[in-house]
Amino acid sequence: MLVDVHAHFYHQRTPRADWRERNESRLAAGGRIGISVHVASILGSFGLTSPTYFPSPRDVTAGNDALLALQRAHPDRIRGYVCVNPNYSAHARAEIVRGLDAGMIGIKLAASRRADDPLLDPIAALALERRVPVLQHIWQHRRRDWPGQEASDASELCTLARRHPDVAFILAHIGGGGDWLHSLHATGGGDVPNVYVDLSGSGADGGMLEACIESVGVNRLLWGSDITMDTGWAKLRYLETLLSKDDMALVRWKNAARIFPPGAFPTD
Amino acid sequence: MRIDCNAFLGAYPWRKVPGTSPDALVQALERTKIDVAWVTHLPSLFWRDPTEGNAWLYETTRKEKRFKPVPTVHPGLAQWEQVVADAANAGAPALRCDPLYLGLEPAGGEMRVLTAACAAARMPLVLAVRLEDGRQRHPNDHVPELPAAAVRALIRSDADVRLLVTHADRAFIEEVHFGSTPEEARRIWWDICWIWGPPEDHLATLLDTIGSERFVFGTGQPLRLPENGIAKLDLLDVSPDKREAIESTNVRELVS
């Protein structure tokens, strides 16, 4: 069993003319890697009619609809996060209820609003109510604002996590660029046991996985790929040389099964 | 046969990296079934005279048959021509010069003279576009990335030079390849360590548009996990012949 907790799919209303090929490629590569379930999100129109990280409510809904359609088309392999823009609070809450009622299993927050902003509190409250995890896009040690996103770093996510200790938060793509050591210091202190680290991202740095295991521990690591499945597979292969079979099972799927709703994955 | 033409020995100054010793690299090669590694002494890339690491590199590679030395040359220092001669005498498969790490104009006079000398010595010249993701570099690590224009300028500067460019992504490779004549492009080889696999499929696209004969297996280890290069190949739909070419045959063409 292998759960990819950080996947993306595309749809027709995005700038990608090759959206079908990219979706097919993910599923085909997933077959080779042995991915049982892709837990995915769609960030609105990915820039076609509103910015990727600041999606309009209309695009949020369209993206979630597209993902629900994919989930219906591949019920054995695709599960969805409801993506929302917290700046539109009422829409975000309604969209979360709609998506979860339709079978989605988590909430995706990209970079529309800083993670420690009070606007995220009602979303976290809803995550608690529905017992679903929140995947938060993270810029590992954001030293400045980057164009096109109001990115958060691990310190800000941890602030939110302390306010909502019973909600599981997933710190996105530790290998996705930026100073991952900063994030591991922020999450590894023991006061935020509800923050999980997703191993996805194009970075496959020597030493990164050892640091993850040392700082956070195997009980809070989740395997994922994001948009580079080759680096995801590389990290999985290397982890197998570092961890016991039982610990690998935690990273591959058991930690995910613990924080996603019961029945989210086939063997639950 | 699998040859890693992009590997390092020694510590990295900007962060803690495990597995930088010769013994650790041998273990990594065994783990990933890599038969040969072209290695450069990593710390000396950051020294004022990077050639001061070459003696250690030669000594170390003489002790381990799987290592092939890729010494560093600084064309702005006196007697750099001797470094080229030493490399040839030592049987080095290539020379490395990362001009921006040395404070040189990437396609300036020194680099052009070095390019000509490498061509005359029938020695490929290795250049890295980057060593780390620009988003994660140490705040004091300000060395710019190698510009694609420099690679185009260097390949044009001498009709016989052969370049191996490592850590380049799809956009960089396409810009240089299609910004060069077919004859120029045939003298450039690219390692696969920074090219994305699925679902974006940059590597598969480049093998189709540029040709598998231009690509060689390189990992950037120990800064990056060597498993990544193998995972990329395992995710490709390529014939065994093409895979073998990327893993070893194309490198032999580069050094022939």
CB atoms within 10 A of CB A95: 22
Q: Is A240 exposed, middle or buried (0-12, 13-18, 19+ CB in 10 A)?
A: middle
CB–CB of B96/B126 below 8 Å?
yes
Residue A100 has pLDDT above 70, yes or no: yes
For residue B7, the surrounding DSSP H or E stretch is strand B3-9
Give how far the C-alpha of residue B113 lies from the chain's centroid of Cα atoms, to the nearest Å. Answer: 20
CB-closest option in A23, A180, A231 to B136? A180
For residue B241, the surrounding DSSP H or E stretch is helix B240-244
Angle between helical axes of A229-242 and A19-33 (0-180°, round to 10): 20
* B-chain residues near A202 (CB < 8 A): 133, 196
pLDDT attached to residue B89: 95
Interface with A, mutate which of B17, B32, B201, B237 (most A CBs under 10 A): B201
**Are B228 and A234 a contacting pair at CB < 8 A?**
yes
**Which is more confident, B109 or A188?**
B109
pLDDT attached to residue A189: 81
- pLDDT (mean) for B101-111: 97
B203-212: Cβ within 8 A, 24+ apart: B203/B170, B203/B232, B203/B236, B204/B236, B204/B237, B205/B170, B206/B170, B206/B173, B206/B174, B207/B236, B207/B238, B207/B242, B209/B174, B210/B173, B210/B174, B210/B177, B210/B185, B212/B238, B212/B242, B212/B245, B212/B246, B212/B250
pLDDT in tens, B178-223: 999 999 999 999 999 999 999 999 999 999 999 999 999 999 999 9
pLDDT in tens, A162-187: 999 999 999 999 999 899 999 999 99
pLDDT attached to residue A268: 54
pLDDT attached to residue B39: 98
Residue A267 has pLDDT above 80, yes or no: no
- Taking only residues 38 to 67 of chain A, the set having a beta carbon closer than 8 angstroms to any beta carbon of chain B reads none
Lateral strand order in the sheet of A169-171:
A3-8, A37-41, A78-84, A106-109, A134-136, A169-171, A195-198, A221-222
Lateral strand order in the sheet of B215-216:
B95-96, B125-128, B163-166, B188-191, B215-216
pLDDT in tens, A19-56: 999 999 999 999 999 999 999 999 999 999 999 999 99
Q: For residue A191, what are its two tokens?
A: 């006061």
Q: Is A242 on the interface with B (CB under 8 A)?
A: no
Q: What angle do CA B111, B113, B115 make, to 5 degrees?
A: 65
**Are A237 and B227 a contacting pair at CB < 8 A?**
yes
3-state secondary structure A192-238: CCCEEEECCCCCCECCHHHHHHHHCCHHHEECCCCCEHHHHHHHHHH
Distance CA A228, CA A175 (A): 10
Residue B177 has pLDDT above 70, yes or no: yes
Q: How close does chain B come to A27, measured CA to CA in Å?
A: 8
Going by C-beta distance under 8 Å and a sequence separation of 6 or more, which residues neighbour residue B109? none
Q: How close does chain B come to A122, measured CA to CA in Å?
A: 32
ipTM: 0.97
* B-chain residues near A227 (CB < 8 A): 196, 199-200
Q: How close does chain A come to B27, measured CA to CA in Å?
A: 12
Q: How close does chain A come to B230, measured CA to CA in Å?
A: 8
* A-chain residues near B192 (CB < 8 A): none
CB-closest option in B31, B199, B223 to A205? B223
Q: Which residue has tokens 């379930």?
A: A37
**Are A228 and B18 a contacting pair at CB < 8 A?**
no
Residue B112 has pLDDT above 60, yes or no: yes
* A-chain residues near B17 (CB < 8 A): 205-207
Nearest Cα to B7, choosing from B55, B52, B64, B48? B64
Nearest-by-CA chain B residue for A24:
B199
Residue A60 has pLDDT above 80, yes or no: yes
A171-193 burial, b at 16+ Cβ within 10 Å, e below that, comes to: bbbbbbbbbbbbbbebbbeeebe
Task: Report CA dihedral (B229, B231, B236, B237) to the nearest 10 degrees.
Answer: 130
Residue B12 has pLDDT above 90, yes or no: yes
Q: Report the DSSP beta bridge partners of residue A38.
A: A4, A78
Residue A10 has pLDDT above 80, yes or no: yes
pLDDT attached to residue B237: 95
pLDDT in tens, A191-227: 999 999 999 999 999 999 999 999 999 999 999 999 9
Interface with A, mutate which of B15, B21, B237 (most A CBs under 10 A): B15
pLDDT attached to residue B256: 86
State the average pLDDT for chain A: 97
- Taking only residues 170 to 229 of chain A, the set having a beta carbon closer than 8 angstroms to any beta carbon of chain B reads 177-181, 202-207, 210, 227-229
State the average pLDDT for chain B: 97
pLDDT attached to residue B18: 96
Tell me the count of A-B CB pairs closer than 8 A: 94
pLDDT attached to residue A266: 84
* A-chain residues near B234 (CB < 8 A): 32, 233
Q: How close does chain A come to B8, measured CA to CA in Å?
A: 12
**Are B235 and A207 a contacting pair at CB < 8 A?**
no
Q: How close does chain B come to A90, measured CA to CA in Å?
A: 34
- The secondary structure of residue B126, as a DSSP letter, is E
Instruction: Supply the DSSP string of A83-131, one letter for each residue.
Output: EE-TTSHHHHHHHHHHHHHTT--EEEE-SSS-TTSGGGHHHHHHHHHHT
B172-197 burial, b at 16+ Cβ within 10 Å, e below that, comes to: bbbbbbeebeeebbebbbbbbbbbbb
Q: What angle do CA A23, A24, A27 make, to 5 degrees?
A: 90
CB-closest option in A139, A205, A241 to B224? A205
pTM for the model stands at 0.97
